[in-house]
Copies of this chain bind each other. A is one copy, B any other.
Amino acid sequence: MKANEGPGNGAEWLRGTGGEADIVLSSRIRLARNVADFPFVVRMKAEQQAELARFLEQGIMGADLAPNMRYVDIDEADELEKLYLQERQLISRELADAKGKRGVSVGDMERISVMVNEEDHIRLQVIHSGFELDECWAAADRCDSLLGERVRYAFSPRLGYLTACPTNVGTGLRASVMLHLPGLVMTKQMKKVFAAMAKLNLAVRGMYGEGTEASSDLYQLSNQVSLGKSEEEIVHSLKSVIPQLIKFERNARKYLLEHGRVAVEDRVWRAYGMLRSARTISSQEAMIYLSQLRLGVNLGMVKDVHIDSLNELFILTQPAHLQKLEGKKLEEDKRDLARATLIRNRLGEV
A1 in the interface (beta carbon within 8 A): no
Among A301-350, those with CB < 8 Å from B are 337, 340, 350
Q: CA separation between A320 and B138, bound complex, in Å?
A: 66
Which residues of B sit under 8 angstroms from A278, Cβ to Cβ?
A: 266, 269-270, 273
Which residues of B sit under 8 angstroms from A265, Cβ to Cβ?
A: 279
> How many residues belonging to A are interface residues under a CB distance threshold of 8 Å?
17
Distance of A300 from chain B, by nearest CB (Å): 15
Among A279-309, those with CB < 8 Å from B are 279-280
Count copies of this chain in the complex: 2
Which residues of B sit under 8 angstroms from A280, Cβ to Cβ?
A: 262-263, 266
Which residues of B sit under 8 angstroms from A277, Cβ to Cβ?
A: 269-270, 272-274
A15 in the interface (beta carbon within 8 A): no
Q: Which residues of A contact B (CB under 8 A)?
A: 262-263, 265-266, 269-270, 272-274, 276-280, 337, 340, 350
25 intermolecular pairs with C-beta atoms under 8 Å apart: A262-B279, A262-B337, A263-B280, A265-B279, A266-B278, A266-B279, A266-B280, A266-B340, A269-B278, A269-B279, A269-B350, A270-B274, A270-B277, A270-B278, A270-B279, A272-B350, A273-B273, A273-B274, A273-B276, A273-B277, A273-B278, A274-B274, A274-B277, A276-B350, A350-B350
